[in-house]
Amino acid sequence: MGPVLHIIDRGTPCDCLDQLALLAGEGDRVACVGRPPQYAGFNLPAKTVHCPFGLASLGGRRLRQFVRDGDIVHTWSPRSLQAGRMLALGGRCKLLLSLSHLPEPADLPELLRHLSGAALHVTLPTSVARERMLAAGAPCESVHLLPPAARPVADLPRRRQQVRAALGLAEHQRLLVAPAEMVRAAGHTYVVWAHAIVRQIHQHVHLLIPGHGPLMKHVTYFARTTGYNDEIHLTEDRFSRSDVLAAADVAAMFYQKDCGVSALVASMAAGVPVAAGDTPDAAECAPDGEAAVLAEPGSPRAATAAVLKLIDDPVLGGRLGRTAQQIAETRFSILHAKQVLGDIYGQMR
């Protein structure tokens, strides 16, 4: 099987960039149509391709020199798919789109129209998302389950000590972390809300919000209104996700709806107790009471109760973290995901 051309763009979700960084094969190439994404967690070399008039499809024309007949072009966002479709004209290459979650209802009809011609294949991270796309009318042979991959945190004790020292945390202080990309559906405001309420009960709980995202300004402003500025750490790219999870005592992702599971499975692989919104994708990856405490989406009361449950009961948190880590080792290992992706490529050829 020859190398694959992966296409990304500035708006490619961090979830998809995480998966590409973990799953790209030796010899695979990465191209970015337009400006590259601003995500420190993605470090693969990528060739930037100019898009005349800002049109990704015209950028796709400039990529024709990089593909041969029968090659697989793996796109990682709807906009990068526009470039891929230009490459696929005339059957020159096979086209795959990986999504971080089921598309919004308004976006499904156009995607289903592209799938109906069997020129496009799609991957989704959970079986429930795949079943819902099939129920919407997608052809079974064109929609694949590609489980999310996560890497265990190496040298965890040393990393934990270094990050917590950098944050000025004593050993008895607990650290709540919100590791997901700052997008609207990820529920960062509910994490901030929960921290503020928990802080009324436990004086030793700090909150760390790393990274970036479209909602960064809103999250930053909201976090500064709670009165706990000295106990909320907005670190942007200061620490890697692995460092953040090594330092964490609880990871919180209060999804309002499905928007990707990369941060969730990374938290599981690190053995961090998880509190998350009870969405279909989250419940499949981290079953409630088995690998996480799941809370009703959009409820500050439920979010707070989930965090308190883990803060108040370290034994429960330890049990959930260990089970989550075992699940991640089997279902979400990089080796397993690479094998599945290789099988999908094989079916496309």
Task: Classify the phi-psi angles of 146: left when phi > 0, otherwise alpha if psi is within -120 to 50, otherwise beta.
Answer: beta
Domain with 304, as residue range(s), is 156-331
Q: Quick one: the chain helix, strand, coil %, rounded to 5?
A: 50, 15, 35
Q: Residues 245, 140: one domain?
A: no
The CATH code of the domain that includes 344 is: 3.40.50.2000
Q: Residues 215, 325: one domain?
A: yes
Q: Residues 327, 342: one domain?
A: no
- 168 φ, ψ (degrees, to nearest 5): 75, 30
Q: What is the pLDDT along the chain (349 residues), one digit of tens a residue?
A: 578 999 999 999 999 999 999 999 999 999 999 999 989 999 999 999 988 878 888 887 888 877 877 789 999 999 999 998 888 876 678 899 999 999 999 999 988 888 876 579 999 999 999 999 999 999 999 999 999 999 999 999 999 999 999 999 999 999 999 999 999 999 999 999 999 999 999 999 999 999 999 999 999 999 999 999 999 999 999 999 999 999 999 999 999 999 999 999 999 999 999 999 999 999 999 999 999 999 999 999 999 999 999 999 999 999 999 999 999 999 999 999 999 999 999 998 7
Domain count, the chain: 2
**Apex 333 CA angle, 96 and 326, nearest 5:** 140
**Token duo for residue 285:** 């990856």
CA distance 189 to 216: 11
Q: Residues 29, 174: one domain?
A: no
Q: Residues 59, 142: one domain?
A: yes
Q: Residues 177, 166: one domain?
A: yes
Is this structure's pTM higher than 0.85? Answer: yes
**Token duo for residue 248:** 């964490």
Q: Residues 279, 294: one domain?
A: yes
CA distance 182 to 211: 8
Q: Residues 175, 54: one domain?
A: no
Q: Residues 167, 224: one domain?
A: yes
CA distance 343 to 349: 10
Per DSSP, the residues of 38-77 read --TT--S--EEE--GGG-HHHHHHTTGGG--TTEEEEE-S
CA distance 321 to 312: 15
**Token duo for residue 89:** 């004209």
CA distance 287 to 212: 28
Taking the CA of residue 132 as centre, how many other CA atoms within 13 Å lie in the half-sphere pointing to its CB? 15
- 275 in Cβ contact with 310 (< 8 Å): yes
Q: Residues 167, 64: one domain?
A: no
CA distance 185 to 325: 25
Q: Where are the alpha helices (DSSP H) in 89-205?
A: 108-116, 127-135, 156-167, 188-201
**Token duo for residue 184:** 């609207």
CA nearest 31: which of 70, 66, 79?
66
Q: Residues 67, 166: one domain?
A: no
**Apex 241 CA angle, 236 and 246, nearest 5:** 120
Q: Residues 162, 58: one domain?
A: no
**Token duo for residue 100:** 């971080």
Contacts of 321 (CB under 8 A, 6+ apart): 271, 272, 273, 274
Would strands 293-295 and 274-277 be described as parallel, antiparallel, or unpaired?
parallel
